[in-house]
Amino acid sequence: MSEALAHQAAALWGFDPARVSLAARRENIVYRAEGSDSAYALRLHRPGYRSQAELDSELHWMAALEAGGMAVPRPLPLPDGQMTAKVGDTLVDVLTWLPGAPLGTGGAMEGVADRPALAHRLGRLLAQLHDLSDDWTPPTGFTRPAWDRAGLLGDAPLWGCFWDHPHLTPDQRALFHAARAQADADLAACEAELDYGLIHADVITENVLRDGDTLYLIDFDDGGWGFRDFELATFLMRFLDAPDYAGIRAALIDGYSIRRCIEPSRLDLFLLLRALTYPGWIMPRLHEPGGTARSARAIATALPLAERYLNGG
């Protein structure tokens, strides 16, 4: 089914459908399209996840970042100048294909001998992302999700009501309710002092490509307005149990602080907030392959963080 959609979409951009091949099947389905000059990433977006206005906004933002010297994909417009097309119920866009390979999966940094050094480089890259985003004026109609207090802890969070996860025991549900209330109070108390703006919001190892000494950011699907502390916490959360976590955390903050300021003491709050989003995210995906196992990991990560946070740890 997706192959037929990819072939239809490829023709809209002038690609030969015979030179389109499946590259990744994740939240979006990505095909590699071989053009006359180079390769491109043709993305079939998960139906219903993003509106066309949201997707167009994402692409305008990425184009501005790339024009500012950021190591991100560049959108390829259609011949009529539009950024996206709709094939059936599926929104489609095309980006330049970047060199390199993902750092790894599940928090791994495959083949990286000095992980803190790489985290330092990534911190500098994230600071550049935030600098360029703050210097950019979004076009009229720009719309992206908001990872604000309501989007994280409100009655209808962006990724779902994590405290209503069907696999939680009564005690676990009570713990999530208590953690939500405390985190909301703490976030409200410091919210006015926090650095807030456009963030990638999904900086995990799968979304960071490495090509020699160059790091690229891909997959801005969840990017939007948010706290910059949340950006760093998203990357760090996957390394909480790693023996070199302290070194990775310090290096990421140091790299980021070369260009921008961050308060390290607040990161524990944002690590909790990031962890709480994943049980909500997995709820509508429980029926998908691997959904049950991913759900168990999300809950197992969030519960001890919630307990520690409530105990002041």
* 96-147 pLDDT, tens digit each: 999 999 999 877 888 899 999 999 999 999 999 999 999 999 999 999 999 9
Q: Where are the domains of the chain?
A: 2-97, 115-310
Q: Considering the domain 2-97, what is its CATH architecture?
A: 2-Layer Sandwich (3.30)
What's the confidence (pLDDT) of residue 74?
Answer: 97
Average pLDDT over residues 15-29: 91
Q: Considering the domain 115-310, what is its CATH architecture?
A: Alpha-Beta Complex (3.90)
pLDDT at position 11 over 70? yes
DSSP assignment of the chain: -HHHHHHHHHHHTT--GGGEEEEEESSSEEEEEE-SSSEEEEEEPPTTTS-HHHHHHHHHHHHHHHHTT-SS--B---TTS-S-EEETTEEEEEEEPPPSEES-STT--TT-S-HHHHHHHHHHHHHHHHHHHHH--PPTT----EESHHHHHSSS-TT--GGG-TT--HHHHHHHHHHHHHHHHHHHHHGGGS-EEEE-S---GGGEEEETTEEEE---TT-EEEEHHHHHHHHHGGGTTSTTHHHHHHHHHHHHHTTS---GGGHHHHHHHHHHHHHHHHGGGTTSTTHHHHHHHHHHHHHHHHHHHHTT-
What's the confidence (pLDDT) of residue 245?
Answer: 96
pLDDT at position 9 over 80? yes
Under the banding of pLDDT at 50, 70 and 90, the label for residue 263 is: confident
The whole model's pTM is what?
0.95
Under the banding of pLDDT at 50, 70 and 90, the label for residue 21 is: very high
